Amino acid sequence: MDKSWMNLGDRLVSPAYAEGVKNFLTMARNHCEGSDRIRCPCRICCNNLFLPIFEVETHLFIKGINPNYTQWIFHGEEETLPIIDDDTRLGVGVEDKYIDDMDRMLDDIRAGTFGDAPEDNTTSPTQPSIPHPSPNSTFDQLLEDAQRPLFDGCTKFSKLSFTVRLLHIKTLGGWSIKSFDMLISLLRSAFPDSKLPSSYEEARSLERGLDFKYRKIHACPNDCILFWKEYANLNECPICKASRWMPNTHGSRVIPQKVLRHFPLKPRLQRLFVTDKIACDMRWHKEQRVPDETSMRHPADSQSWKTFDEAHSWFARDARNVRLGLASDGFNPFNNLAKPYSIWPVILVPYNLPPWLCMKDQFFMTSLIIPGPKSPGNDIDVYLQPLIDELLELWEHGVPTYDASTKEMFMLHAVLLWTINDFPAYGNLSGWSTKGKLACPSCNSSTDSDWLKYGRKQCYMGHRRLLPAGHIWRTRKLLFNGKEDHRMPPNWVEGASLLTQLQMLGDVQLGKSCRKRKRTAEQLNWTKKSIFYKLPYWSMLRLRHNLDVMHIEKNISDSILGTLMDIPGKTKDNINSRRDLENLGFKKELHLKSEGGRVTMPRALYTLHGDERNKFCEWLAEVKFPDGFASNVAHCVSVRDCKITGFKSHDHHVFLQRLLPIAVGGFLRSDIALALTELSSFFKELCARTLDVNRLSQLQLDIVTILCKLEMIFPPSFFDIMVHLAVHLPGEAILEGPVQYRWMYPFERYLGKFKREHYDKCRLSNPNSVDRTHQTEFPTWFKQCVQDQRTGNPPQLSADLYALACGPDPWVASYAACIINGKRFHTKQLELRRRSQNSGVLVTGDEDTNNLDFYGVLNDVVELHYMGGRRVYLFSCDWFDVGDKKRGVRVDDHITSVNMDRTWNVYDIPPVARVLDDIDGESSEDDGYQENEPSFDYPLLHCEASPVSTPLSRTDIEPIHIDARGHMAVGRECINSTDFIDDGMVPSSSGDGYGDWEYSDEDDLSTDEESESE
């Protein structure tokens, strides 16, 4: 039967298509034996649903038949199975040089690398001919390994395929390099005739034939320049005069101070098309995606994608041209050491792939690794130069690429659509400072902010101007700031307007050696012209940098939870907040009350008190989720102390969307609970895997209403920049599609894997590691050395040294208290029954630890027994995190404060994998739980005249008594200056190595000068 009609494009008007559908349904009716339902073979149903025949006919015309359904086995056509003759198969096997199915992969690699394929006949005649490189020796070695059996007589594995599978299992299982070498050693001992690699390094050397290489580019230690191109032969930076090399006493060998590692992008893009299956998937967005004007499931459904296709039709004509997203974030590869270190990988992700493959880490391409020890901050453009050069070449000229699915060569082009990063990194990549009064990059110069005199930070309110004109809330003074608001919403700043603003900036010299620059008011919050503007299409993109929903969710949830539980340091309702309310002159029922010599602070209705907090903690500790849905939040809840600590980003994601509506409904007043429940529903709807375009327009109006309700409830200090950014999230979703393609969850997990592998390699697998050598070899060497000296010259060997070399007795004693050198020590557990405290431990630092003192608490006292009655006492302690200068320890003029909630493992002990981590810990499969489809019960928000009742203070609980002398001092006056804005070099906090980035009041405080000077 003729099936050519399946590929016709004009289904609704084509007579051939209509005739084909008619014949197909006739055959299906004869096959269904009287039933009126058959499997629907359209592109959406894919034979998974039984539908009435008339409905199937509608699907075939509207949605089209699945082009891959070429054998109609479900509708009456007999299945044809290939007939394989054993003799023929054996004959082929004799002539075939390959042991297994690695031949197809290697043939495709040879064709793609060395040009053994015809050129694409659709290539423009004006383009130059595609060059054909010559084979190299490493690839020939790869072919030889593929043809060599694992051992004599082996017909299932070649040396190459077995090694590749071992490396694959190592990656999936998270093996350390040491364990891989131990397995290789065991296999070589058990099978001495096998052709196995001798070590992990030899196994990795097989990849050299695939041309996976990287370049080392030296950099200025002050981030001024890269020593490449015109600076390649210099020995010092031409800007800051810093030496390229480290001070070296060895003489002959020179060591660079800073090295950027660049992984070329072009060969990695070419590898996507070497495999037949992936090459087909790279065309999915155009050939197999079903267009739907009302829903968005993929970035290809977004407005930005469609607008770009219209503006650059030559690029969109070939579905194989790659569209990329760029993500970057910092992490500490050395775990929690005393000296912080921040390394910044730059990762690219291709968006051509279907949704089930698009954000998988096997398709992530690490392009750059920017070295530390400090975050590059605003100077990240210096390190992005090699990548930008590649992107320019891929846009203007392309790269010859072999397509394994069509067996031909074509010119591959690529485009960078947007960047993905947390908010501090947003400022580094975009050039717009995310601090100060104009911190919002979307509102641009129209950002509405107010300086809080006592809170010492900016607040971002005034969301009534985003309401429709004539809205009743615009005139309600008492519910807001005591004023009417009839301002119009800010206009969207297009690319041409941004270029006009950047022309006012002038030339900006990058590098940490440069003096702090003063920028004028006309320059707004611009700190530089981003290097991405070198790409000719960058200014024409609808949206260039994404706001990260993950971190916005986390910070909003953290603010709500801290205020709800009245957590010190986290709550947004403190004494300074009440003083700011009094200074601004609204919510008078929450002002501080002075009665004689006493000052009291009324308790607010949006905080829990006493038994309410205990019940909330008990409820949260007993919450259970399905497997893989969330981590065990009970580990973060202390019912006895009534504390909640240690929530990660995903914990906040689940709390905000799932737990918050239940929690507030049982404790808070109905109008306050309703506002928080609406906020929860907003994020739940926004984070769905499939977005309804019409629903997004409604969400854009709803989030404005929600933020206005929150302004009626919470004090101004609650509204930091992260709360304000939520108002722009629906608009970005309309422009760029579902959030799961644009948030940091997959990249944070990817960087976590980097960190674990790097830490394991540094500690266990580096043969030059002094710590590793000392740990594994010193005890044996010491014992042998002492025994040799005892044999050769016994009088010069002391009895103590000999006893130490022989080692302790395997049985030890444990004590809860002891007196050593006249000092009394108790364990922490023993002190629970005593009125005194003797469990504190202090170890004074030296030059090796940068004079860093270590503070801890004693858990156990262990007594070791050596020969001759000698005894040694060891303290088992919990050490506090003094490496974190911001959250761990604070050194003031006369006192050192230690955060006892942050513990730290000082010793370099290899981590032990816990089996329960995958069950009780955070799920490693999903980035964040999302609804598959938008919910159909999303309630419409109603704007009542007075949605929040007053007053907001609690009269059933006694107010808090505060020290008037300590808290009623007048804050320092603000400096009014409109001429200059201090552009301080504030490093991004996302590279601090602490995992989840958190926007806090201290972040505002670090740039107060910038805000005050305005």
User: Which tens digits make up the pLDDT trace of 589-608?
Assistant: 889 888 877 888 999 999 99
- Structural domain includes residue 988: no
Q: Please tell me whether the peptide bond between 67 and the residue prior to it is cis, using omega within 30 degrees of 0.
A: no
Domain identity same for 697 and 604: yes
What pLDDT score was predicted for residue 899?
A: 85
What pLDDT score was predicted for residue 922?
A: 37
Q: What is the pLDDT of residues 635-682, one digit of tens each?
A: 889 888 888 888 999 999 999 999 998 888 888 888 899 999 999 999
Q: At what angle do helices 670-686 and 693-713 cross, to 10 degrees?
A: 150
What pLDDT score was predicted for residue 740?
A: 93
- Structural domain includes residue 498: no
Q: Look at residue 952 and give its three-state secondary structure.
A: coil
- Structural domain includes residue 523: no
- Structural domain includes residue 394: yes
Mean pLDDT across the stretch 171-180?
82
Q: What is the pLDDT of residues 112-135, one digit of tens each?
A: 555 555 566 544 434 455 555 544
132-146, 361-375, 957-971: least confident range: 132-146
- Reply yes or no on whether the pLDDT at 390 is more than 90: yes
Q: What is the pLDDT of residues 803-829, one digit of tens each?
A: 888 888 888 889 998 888 778 888 988
Domain identity same for 374 and 462: no
Q: In 769-884, at which residue ranges do the beta strands (DSSP E only) sit?
A: 813-815, 817-820, 823-826, 840-843, 854-866, 870-880
Domain identity same for 43 and 177: no
Please give the torsion angle defined by the CA atoms of residues 532, 533, 537 and 542, in that order, rounded to the nearest 10 degrees: 80
Q: What is the pLDDT of residues 769-779, one digit of tens each?
A: 555 667 778 88
What pLDDT score was predicted for residue 1005?
A: 34
Q: What is the pLDDT of residues 902-933, one digit of tens each?
A: 887 654 333 323 333 332 333 334 456 566 65
Mean pLDDT across the stretch 203-220?
78
- Other residues' Cβ atoms within 10 Å of the Cβ of residue 40: 26
Give the DSSP per-residue string, 282-295.
Answer: TTHHHHT----SSE
67-71, 498-502, 614-618: least confident range: 67-71
Q: Which residue has the higher pLDDT, 988 or 66?
A: 66
- Structural domain includes residue 779: no
- Return d(Cα 992, Cα 649) in angstroms, integer: 16
Q: What is the pLDDT of residues 870-904, one digit of tens each?
A: 888 899 998 888 877 777 887 765 567 888 888 87
- Reply yes or no on whether the pLDDT at 703 is more than 80: yes
What pLDDT score was predicted for residue 87?
A: 41
- Return d(Cα 246, Cα 138) in angstroms, integer: 34
**Main-chain phi, psi angles of 38, to 5 degrees:** -135, 170
What pLDDT score was predicted for residue 252?
A: 66
Mean pLDDT across the stretch 405-416?
92
Q: Which residue has the tokens 């005069």?
A: 241
- Of 101-105, 282-286, 942-946, give the range with the top mean pLDDT: 282-286
- Return d(Cα 121, Cα 612) in angstroms, integer: 73
**Main-chain phi, psi angles of 522, to 5 degrees:** -70, -20
Last residue of a domain, one of 856, 875, 908: 908
What pLDDT score was predicted for residue 306?
A: 94
Last residue of a domain, one of 146, 181, 209: 209
User: How many structural domains are present in the chain?
Assistant: 5
Question: Which residues span the domain enclosing 334?
Answer: 215-247+254-423
Domain identity same for 288 and 418: yes
Domain identity same for 468 and 588: yes
What pLDDT score was predicted for residue 976?
A: 37
Domain identity same for 573 and 680: yes
- Structural domain includes residue 790: no
35-44, 77-86, 284-293, 484-493: least confident range: 77-86
- Of 30-44, 69-83, 307-321, give the range with the top mean pLDDT: 307-321
Closest CA to 672 of 365, 970, 951, 433: 951
Radius of gyration of the chain (CA): 33
Domain identity same for 679 and 596: yes
Q: Is 892 exposed, middle or buried (0-12, 13-18, 19+ CB in 10 A)?
A: exposed
First to last CA, the chain: 77
- Return d(Cα 156, Cα 667) in angstroms, integer: 66
What pLDDT score was predicted for residue 992?
A: 38
Mean pLDDT across the stretch 34-62?
83
What pLDDT score was predicted for residue 145?
A: 67
Domain identity same for 141 and 277: no
Domain identity same for 933 and 847: no
Q: What is the pLDDT of residues 966-1003, one digit of tens each?
A: 555 444 443 333 333 333 333 334 443 334 444 544 44
- Band (14; pLDDT cuts 50, 70, 90): confident
Domain identity same for 307 and 372: yes
What pLDDT score was predicted for residue 316?
A: 93
Domain identity same for 963 and 839: no
Q: Which residues lie below 8 Å from residue 70, measured CB to CB, with a gap of 6+?
A: 3, 6
- Structural domain includes residue 507: no
Q: Which residue has the tokens 């040694």?
A: 872
What pLDDT score was predicted for residue 441?
A: 93
Q: Look at residue 27 and give its three-state secondary structure.
A: helix
How is residue 211 written in tokens? 């041309």
Mean pLDDT across the stretch 849-875?
86
960-962 and 598-601 as β-strands: parallel, antiparallel, unpaired? antiparallel
- Of 141-155, 681-695, 832-846, give the range with the top mean pLDDT: 681-695
- Band (1011; pLDDT cuts 50, 70, 90): very low
Domain identity same for 728 and 846: no
What pLDDT score was predicted for residue 119?
A: 60
Closest CA to 115 of 405, 321, 400, 404: 400
Q: Average pLDDT of the chain?
A: 80
- Of 274-278, 306-310, 478-482, 836-840, give the range with the top mean pLDDT: 306-310
What pLDDT score was predicted for residue 756?
A: 67
DSSP state of 780: H
Mean pLDDT across the stretch 713-730?
94
